[in-house]
Structure 1
Amino acid sequence: MPLKLTIVGRVSDGLPLAQGPRYVNEEDDSVPAYKEQGEFLLKEISRGALPYSKMTIFLDHHCFNYMVEHGICFMAVCDSMYPRKLVFHYLQDLQKEFKKFDVRVTERIMRPYSFMKFDGIIGNIRSKYVDTRTQANLSKLNSDGSQEEDILSESFSQIVKRRRRFDMLRRMSEAHLHASPIWCSKRLECCYNKIELDVGNSSHQTTSFQL
C-alpha cells in the first residue's frame, strides 16, 4: 500500500488523536514500527525540535510527510516513490475536514487515539489517494508545483542523532547541578559568609593591636 499509516496529533503536548483504520495486511509487522516512529516525530515537533510547518523525513524506503496547521499535526507514512505533491494534497484534505470540528472537543481529549470520529474520515479521504492514476489525482500532480518549494527534507537518522545529543547534554547538565548539592545550600552559604566575617574581624583586631 502506498499510504501505510496516518497520524493526527496535537502539537501542544504531542498527543496522537487519531490514526484512521488499519491500512495494510495484518501480517505486515512494519506498521507498529511506523507508528512508534511517527509518535517520536510528533513529540519532536511538540518540543520544537522540528519547527517547520511542512517536512518530509526519509527512512529506508519510506518517508514521513507532515504539515502543521492551527496546532494540529497531520502526518502520513508512505512509500518513498509515492508522489510528495499528492501526499500533501491528502494532508490538506484531512486538515480541511478536521477544522470542521469544534476545537473545544479536541482540546478535551486526554487518551491517545481516542478521537475515533475522525478515523472514518481518514479512511474515506485516503481511499481517494490510493490510486495515483485517477483523473483527480493526475490533475493534482499536473497542477502548479510551487507548493513543494517550502517543504524541507531530512533523514530520520539525523533527527534521532540530534535527540540523543540533546538528551546527553541534558543529563550532563543535571549531573553537574546535582553532583554536590551541599554547595547549593543556603545554610552553607550563610555559614561561609559568617566565617569570612569572623576572619575579617580577627585580622582587623590584630592589626589594631600592632599599631
Structure 2
Amino acid sequence: MTLCDSSYPRKLAFHYLQDLQKEFERLDNSLVEKITRPYSFVKFDGVIGSIRKQYIDTRTQANLSKLNANRKKDLEIITEHISEILQRKRNSEISERLPATTPRTASPVWGSPLLEVIALKWTPITTIVAVAAILLWASLVLTDNFII
C-alpha cells in the first residue's frame, strides 16, 4: 500500500509498488521473513528511498515512458477490439450479399437435366391418361347400369 497525492498518476503508484516488490524479492528472503513490525523496515530505508526518488517527479522521462507504455498497450487493445468488430461486420455484410447475388442452386437430383427431359416428355401423356381415367370413372358411377 502506498500513500500519494490525489493528483499523482495511479499507474505510476502501481509501478512504484511493483518495483518495491521486485527489490524485496532480490533481497534475502530470510531478512524479509523476520520482519514483524513496521519499524523493522528501517533496514531497507536505502532501497525504498532510492526507488522513491525515481518516482517523486512524475514528469521525468522514465516515468512518462512508463505512463505512455501503458497507454500504448491500452490503445493497442482497443484498436484490436475495434478491428475485430469491423472484420465481423464485413463478414456479415459479405454473407448477406452472397445469397442475394448468386442464384440458389437446386438440389442435384431435382434440378438435373435428365429429369427435365423426362418431365417435358411424360407430363402431357400423364395428364391425358389421368383425365381419361377420371372421365371413365365418372361415367361408370353416374350410370345406373354399373355392375361389378
Same fold (TM over 0.5): no
TM-score normalised over the length of structure 2: 0.44
Which has the larger Rg? 2
